[in-house]
Chain A
Amino acid sequence: MNSRHYCALMTLLLGVFSHAHADEPLTFEKHIRPIFRAHCFDCHGAEKEVKGELDLRLVRLMEKGGEIGPALVKGKPEESYFFERIVSGEMPPGSHRVPDDQIAIIRQWILEGAKTARPEPATIGSGLGISLEERSYWAFQPIQRPAMPLVTNVDQVRTPIDALLLAKMESQGLSFAPLADKATLLRRATLALTGLPPAPEELNAFLADESPEAWEKTIDRLLESPQYGERWGRHWLDVAGYADSEGSTNSDANRQWAYKYRDWVIRAIGIDMPFDQFITWQLAGDELVEPPYKNMTAQEIDKLTATGYLRMAADGTGQANNEENRNQVVIDTIKIVSTGLLGVSMGCAQCHDHRYDPISHEDYYRFRAIFEPALNPKRWKVPGNRAVSLYTDEDHAKAAEIEAQAQEKGAARNAKQKEFMDLALKAELEKVDPSLRESLETAYRTAGDKRTDEQKALLAKNPNIGNLSPGVLYQYNQGHADELKKLDGEIAALRGTKPVHEYIRALTKQVPEVDPTHLFYRGDYRQPQQEVAPGGLTVTAPADSPFEIKDNPEGSPTTGRRLQYARWLTSGRHPLVARVLVNRFWMHHFGTGIVDTPGEFGRLGSMPTQPEVLDWLSDEFMAKGWSLKHLHRVIMTSTVYLQQSKRTPEADQIDGGNQLYSHFPVKRLDAEAIRDSILAVSGKLDKASFGAPVMVGKDTSGQIIINGEVQRRSVYLQMKRTEPIALLKAFDAPAMEINCTKRENSTVATQSLMLMNSDFILRSADFFASRLNQEAQGKVDSSVTNGIELVLPDNGLNNANPWSFGYGMVGEAPEGEIAKVTFTHYPFFGDNTWKGGEKIPDDKLGFSFLNPTGGHTASVEMSPIRRWTAPVSGKIRIQGKLHHPSDNGDGVRLTLYSSRTGQVGQWSAKTGNADYDVTFEVEAGDTIDAIVDRVENHTSDSFSNTYSITLLESDMSLAWESAKEFHGPLDQSGYELNATIAEQIAYGWYLAYGRPPTREEVQLSIEFIEQQVQLLIASKNESPFEQAMTNYCQALLTSNQFLYME
């Protein structure tokens, strides 16, 4: 964008103009030119026409001056016209100023005699050129393998990068932290390479393997897993700006075939395709395939699919195919390529020479010219018209053959239909007056628009004939209709056997003509200026051997521009590509890059914290065949990777930002790893690979969620630019405005709310809890769980809801004992009623039933019983009302009966009410039955009986309502303990954290579960035990130990 203010500030912060080196003489090239580049050259040097005829590019040109006369008088700032103009604020024009410190530097430079670093050239071409000073910027230097330094603590050196890092640390009195334990390392590596936590079996195997190669074998195992390609493919998709939608407009149309590119990336990373090839195919795969892209081999398809990279930019031309939108696609594509591969934001140079880096306005359009033959706004194809069909001639032939068969079958089917219709007509005609039959048949068979009014009237009068059509044939003869339907099904099935017609979203050169590329004045496509030839960034090639592109080399069918460029980028001589790639690989392992601005290596970005490590790895990467897997092995077997993640105050004093790598960083999992890990741990992750994206939709509150129950890895979910999945977005997954070279890492309350309350997390915790109950038994070393048991009130666990509904009567008991109630649960629940069966009266239980407010009596031994099991001990009060509404019958009788003390009271009601109010003691587990019987007969024995139970004289304020808490069958599934609670706790810990808990941690957890169960019982939760375990699981899944890797 614009912003001189920002630019001015940046120059300050970049420290380019520091006074620090006071003894160093100020020179034009080193000290003044950057100031002019930022503030002056736009008008006085960059373009052919210089304002006021004043050219500031050389000191002697300044001395010569412009319209007004000499602009510079050496040694005399006050007499130097250009300086005076800057000081007065007249220059540069507009509101922005050259900062005071820079003015001071210019002044000092003039005072010192306006020196140059070297004699100035006798002639100067157009433009700013590239000074030696600019060329010497670190990122433009060739990549060179650094010499190995000497270190003291050689035991800590496992790889050359260790030596490089340790040398710097030792100079500050530091060394690497101690090695991390095996469990930590396994979790670290598994999350890093697969985005998922290690399974307990994997940890067990790793712990058991005491061989020296155990770690290397583990790394190899992870690198070979399908999840590796998905994980590291996803990293590349960020850079490529992958999305399953077009973006740019609100409609954000789907990109149906984009996923083919995504799958290609995952496969390529999975097989460790060398990155030189990986890049070349993406930039120029089409130039490696002979047109016309038909009957392609699998590899040819792959090469074309790879060019989907250049089709990732948001594209509004499907909605509005205008020049502005087309140009925007080209601009965004350039940005994707330049930030992703070159680590250079070329955006500045789109409108003018870059103000900080030696990237000229012309460079930008030279770069654009590489892509324009295929990405040409003048010969544009909208997204819908550019998909490449993968149908082969064989597919076409096969499809045609099947279609012919289908047609044949169709003809036979139509003949059959005609036959059936004739039969139906005949049958109907036979039902009418014979005299009318002929005219009716004629009318029917006459085409609708040719019928006479008379015929129409006749048909209207006989609707059974007038309306007869194939669509309603089923009403005339179901068998015939079914037969046709079956044939239709067969034909459809036959057509379904045609080869599936798939497409890819590729970039291909469409026409033989090549339009010249123009430089756009101020970046405005409506103001094209001079033609420019294709080329790379000038500064990236040595001054004496510039990179040049020749069109149509050796008679190739296309210009070959992109292919030549890709070959240059991957030649091993390009200063940026390997550094930029390696820096991002490093970032994915360590959280921050060696250059912290992975998309910007220029002066606007950060300086490398460990340039030697970056260069060594870049050189190693290229030397070992651009193999990412090799690089993983190097990095992950280094001490810097194997060390603990613990800070120490001593190291923090020197290396608080961990730029020396004196410990392994603690990092939050990224969005996909969080979601995928939660699913994996809760046993719900569907690990299927590849294919069309899982579609997203909105839930009732408008949040974007995944449609359906299939929980694939996040990389396979539909990435819609305007509809990011709520969970992923909250954890900083990119929205793909263009692309993403570095993700943010935010910590906000909305994330916490999501982890506390969202449907996704609650359901996942639920699944996790059931998984524990199913699988935990025997999974964890019993020494951490032995003897740890859940201590709960003995009633609570199995009878969370205190109400149950059955039938029976007070039984017989020997003298002096309390008789038991013969209580049997009703076998059937329907219409909000407990009863003997679907229908009342039931064969066995007759009219006996209970509903929320009352019921009906039957024979005495089948009297309805509403049972309350005391969840607590204490004094309770029961207040209620028995009501018998009918004028008939002999009324009903209520017995309140305690399992501890026997009958509490008895009340009768006939055509009216009986109120009751009793207070008595219960102990937890007592049953208090409300038994209603018929008195003498059970005719007209409908009743209502509602009551409340209140716990008195207790700190807990508890009350129960018989009507309100009436319930149907409780879900008792999964209630059975398949493993002890302690085992479940320990296994959950194992799954979530990648290590078993200590005894203390099991103890801590079980105390929590005890507390939960009691609270849940008190709040009348229907399944307090399962809920408590679910809540435990949720705590694990949302804790820092799970969300961070260390």
Chain B
Amino acid sequence: MTGSGTHTSFTRRGFLRENAMGLGMVALASILQEENLLGVPRNVKLGPQKFDLTAKQPHQEPRAKAMISLFQHGGPAHMDLFDPKPELTRLNGKTYDGDIGFSFIKRATKVLKGTPFKFHKHGESGIEMSELIPYMGSIADDMCLIRSMHTGHNGHEVSIRYMNAGIAGVTGRPALGSWITYALGSESQNLPAYMVLTDPGGHPVDSTHNWSNGWMPSIYQGTVLRPKEPRILNLDAPEHLRGDVQASNLGFLGKLNRRHAEKHPGEHELEARIASYELAARMQDAAREALDISKETEATHKLYGIDQDATREYGTRCLIARRLVERGVRFVQLFHAGQPWDNHNSLHTSLPSACRKTDKPSAALVKDLKQRGMLDEVLVHWGGEIGRLPVVEGDPNTGGRDHNGQGFSTWLAGGGIKPGITYGNSDEVGHRAAENIVKPNDYQATVFKLFGIDHKDLFYLHNGQEQKLTVNADAQVVEDIIA
């Protein structure tokens, strides 16, 4: 991943030449022309498109090589976790005089509710976080806490799709992980480039759209690592066919395929399919090895909370996520079942419960990556699609908070992110993002930048039309949070 501009051009030209049969010399000439004129390599695919997962050079020197996204479905209540609002506390019980968009009209109130939880300063950076997330507090100096996220839409799915696939509410588009693997391919020869770790409780809200490849080839779809056996669908043969028997089967298949390919010299696709069988066979072993956390030390198990009931499951998945990126997986995303952060009711109990599950493992992931020297190159994301309203929903004591896409918090760590800072602010009661607003397309552009991708130049031709992840014309990289 250290290619200079020249090196980059060279490999791309080599790639084009080798695939000239597919691309045609026109495209090659055009790209050469473009490079000569502009001197900026672009990650373009033109004409008859060939798709593969070989590692590709980004536009610029990358900071991040891999990303782990801990997606927090439902809308974590930022004013109770990440965004202290003394003014809201002062106005507790008063009527809010601003406009509010509610999702649950019947239980809606305009009564402001200060957080019932205490905030503390953490680390040298002194970032304030709630008592509910002490472990995240302990990594304050490694994170950049964004307090000005904004989707503008209160609905879950609408905002999830915005965060994942670039346009509010629209399905059928490729997710962030698909884009990254499309642009950069895989560093691993034995594992899928884009892996999704789902919750034993079931799929998240919006289900498989969360890791859809949309109109990109299925090669860019997130491979689901299921929380129970079979962990990867179709990974293993049935018991009675494993081992020598399957090896012999594949040997025979390989023999048939080679004899066939020899009759068709120059048909690269036949070779590619032979290679894909070989990869599949390697994946069987590699995936099993990557999932086997028994080799990890007791200290590591403890760090992730795998020794405790509340954190065992999420901690295990966080640890697996680290093992996957360690083995070259490009993009890993963890999901919850349903949406644990959708605390419409009983905020005082449901919110701490969601925190108990995620706080320790999430922080452990950052600590673990750091102590292994991996944090510099692995970007960690923690956040959901929306936040919650400063007013109470339902009863002031036993109620909760309604959806709020106008402002919420998210944190990033590693992969070239400036550590120990906060970025942006919400208004005085935490209702709307007010300063240095970060919209999903800005977030995505920034992630791309960390990977060395210029978001304006990464596109995919779909039905002859260019498609990008960051569709808003004003999408921009949040340069201030990049180290």
A and B interact: yes
Residues on A lying within 8 angstroms of B by beta carbon are 1-7, 9-10, 12-13, 15, 94-95, 99-101, 248, 250, 339, 345, 347-348, 592, 596-597, 599-600, 602, 604-606, 645-647, 649, 652, 656-659, 666, 668, 701-703, 722, 726, 729-730, 732, 735, 737-738, 741-742, 744-754, 756-758, 762, 1004-1005, 1008, 1011-1012, 1015-1016, 1018-1019, 1021, 1027, 1031-1032, 1034-1036, 1038-1041, 1043-1044, 1046
Contacts of A745 in B (CB 8 A): 217, 269
B98 interface hit (Cβ, 8 Å) = no
The answer to whether A13 touches B30, judged by C-beta atoms less than 8 angstroms apart, is yes
- Across the interface, A6 reaches (CB within 8 A) one of B26, B233, B234, B468, namely B468
Inter-subunit contact A758/B463 (CB<8 Å) = no
Least CB separation from B272: chain A residue = A747
Closest chain B CB from A1000 CB (angstroms): 10
CB proximity to A under 8 Å, residues B235-278: 235-238, 240-241, 243-246, 248-250, 252-253, 255-257, 260-261, 263-267, 269-270, 272-274, 276-277
* A744 and B217 in contact, given A1-B468, A12-B33, A750-B223 (Cβ under 8 angstroms): yes
Query: Bound complex: CA of A599 vs CA of B462, how far in Å?
Result: 10
- With contacts A730-B218, A1039-B253 taken as known, whether A1019 is within 8 angstroms of B243 at the C-beta atoms is yes
With an 8 A cutoff between CB atoms, is B86 at the interface?
no
Question: Can you list 18 residue pairs at the A/B interface with Cβ under 8 Å?
Answer: A6-B468, A99-B38, A592-B48, A596-B47, A647-B264, A652-B266, A657-B20, A657-B24, A722-B207, A730-B218, A744-B217, A748-B219, A749-B283, A750-B280, A752-B277, A753-B234, A756-B249, A1004-B255
Known: A12-B33, A94-B473. A1031 touches B264 (CB 8 A): no
Nearest to B266 among chain A residues (CB) is A647
Picked from A600, A737, A751, A1044, the residue with its CB within 8 Å of the CB of B276 is A751
Decide if A1 touches B467 in the complex (CB within 8 Å).
yes
A-B CB pair tally, cutoff 8 Å? 232
- In the complex the two chains form, is A100's CB within 8 Å of B38's CB? yes
- Distance in Å: Cβ of A241 to nearest Cβ of chain B: 12
Q: Known A-B contacts: A95-B473, A1040-B270. Give 17 more (CB < 8 A).
A: A5-B456, A6-B468, A13-B30, A597-B464, A701-B230, A729-B218, A730-B218, A749-B192, A749-B283, A750-B223, A752-B280, A1016-B245, A1027-B240, A1031-B245, A1039-B260, A1040-B261, A1041-B257
Q: Which of B180-208 contact A (CB under 8 A)?
A: 192, 206-208
Flag whether B172 is at the interface (Cβ < 8 A): yes
Per the bound structure, the CA–CA distance linking A758 and B236 in Å amounts to 9
- Chain B residues lying within 8 Å of A746, measured Cβ to Cβ, are 51, 217-219
Asked if B237 and A250 make an inter-chain contact with CB atoms under 8 angstroms apart, the answer reads no
B172 A735 Cβ-Cβ under 8 A: yes
Closest 10 CB pairs of A and B: A600-B464, A656-B21, A737-B172, A6-B466, A752-B280, A746-B217, A597-B464, A647-B266, A753-B234, A13-B30
With known contacts A6-B468, A600-B464, A1021-B240, A737–B261 Cβ distance under 8 A? no
Which B residues, 12 to 62, have Cβ-Cβ distances below 8 Å to chain A? 20-24, 26-27, 30-31, 33-34, 37-38, 42, 44, 46-48, 51, 53
Say yes or no: B245 contacts A9, CB within 8 Å.
no
In the docked arrangement, what's the CA distance between A64 and B246, Å? Answer: 80
Known contacts A657-B20, A1019-B244, A1039-B257, A756 near B467 by CB under 8 Å: no
Task: Point out the residues of chain B lying under 8 angstroms from A645, CB to CB.
Answer: 264
B424 within 8 A of A: no
Beta-carbon contact of B245 and A1019 below 8 Å: yes
**Nearest-neighbor residue (CB-CB) of A1038 within chain B:** B253
Determine whether the beta carbon of B269 is less than 8 Å from that of A347. Answer: no
Query: A347–B467 Cα gap in the complex (Å)?
Result: 12
Residue B457 is within 8 A (CB to CB) of chain A in the complex? yes
Contacts of B221 in A (CB 8 A): 750
| Distance of A2 Cα from B471 Cα, bound (Å) | 7
- Residues in A neighbouring B157, C-beta threshold 8 A: 250
Task: Give the interface of B toward A (CB within 8 A).
Answer: 20-24, 26-27, 30-31, 33-34, 37-38, 42, 44, 46-48, 51, 53, 157, 171-172, 192, 206-209, 214-219, 221, 223, 226, 230, 232-238, 240-241, 243-246, 248-250, 252-253, 255-257, 260-261, 263-267, 269-270, 272-274, 276-277, 279-281, 283, 456-457, 459, 463-468, 471, 473, 476
Provided the pairs A345-B465, A657-B22, A757-B235 are in contact, do residues A1035 and B256 lie with their beta carbons within 8 angstroms? yes
CA separation between A597 and B267, bound complex, in Å? Answer: 22
Q: Which single member of A3, A99, A1027, A1046 contacts B264 (CB below 8 Å)?
A: A1046
Q: Is the CB of B257 within 8 A of A1034?
A: no
Partner of B253, one of A605, A703, A762, A1035: A1035
Partner of B463, one of A345, A1012, A1021, A1036: A345
Q: How far is the CA of A1044 from the CA of B260 in the complex (A)?
A: 10
A742 to B459, CA, bound (A): 18
Give the CA-CA distance A2 to B465 in the complex, in Å: 10
Question: Which of chain B's residues have a CB closer than 8 A to the CB of A1016?
Answer: 245
Once A1012-B245, A1039-B256, A1040-B257 are accepted as A-B contacts, the answer to whether A605 and B217 lie under 8 Å apart by CB is: no
Alpha-carbon distance between A1016 and B237 when the two chains are bound, in angstroms: 14
CA distance A752 to B44 in the complex (A): 28
Across the interface, which residues of B come within 8 angstroms of A753, CB to CB? Answer: 232-235, 280, 283
Chain A residues with CB under 8 A of B459: 3, 5-6
CB distance from A180 to the nearest CB of B (A): 12
- Contacts A657-B48, A659-B24, A737-B215 given; indicate if A666 touches B269 (C-beta within 8 A): yes
Q: Looking at the assembled complex, report how far the CB atom of A1002 sits from the nearest CB atom of chain B, in whole angstroms.
A: 13
Chain A residues with Cβ below 8 Å from B261 are: 1040
**CB < 8 Å neighbour of A1044 from B31, B172, B270:** B270
Docked Cα-Cα span, A384 to B30, in Å, equals 51
Contacts A657-B48, A1046-B264 hold; do A701 and B226 have CB atoms under 8 A apart?
Answer: yes
With known contacts A250-B207, A729-B218, A754–B234 Cβ distance under 8 A: yes
Q: Is the CB of A762 within 8 A of B238?
A: yes
Whether B471 pairs with A756 at a CB distance below 8 angstroms is no
A6: nearest residue on chain B (CB-CB)?
B466
Are A99 and B21 touching (Cβ within 8 A)?
Answer: no
Tell whether, in the assembled complex, residue A1 and residue B465 are in contact, meaning their CB atoms are under 8 Å apart.
Answer: yes
Contacts of B468 in A (CB 8 A): 1, 3, 6
Chain A residue, CB-CB nearest to B476: A95
A251: min CB distance to chain B, Å: 11
Q: B234, A757: Cβ atoms under 8 Å?
A: yes
- Write out the residue numbers on chain A whose beta carbons fall within 8 Å of the beta carbon of B192: 749-750
Q: Are A747 and B473 in contact (CB under 8 A)?
A: no
B240 touches A1035 (CB 8 A): no
Closest to B218 in A: A746
A100, A732, A1004, A1015: the one contacting B218 at CB < 8 Å is: A732
Q: Which of A732, A747, A1021, A1044 has most chain B Cβ within 10 Å? A: A747
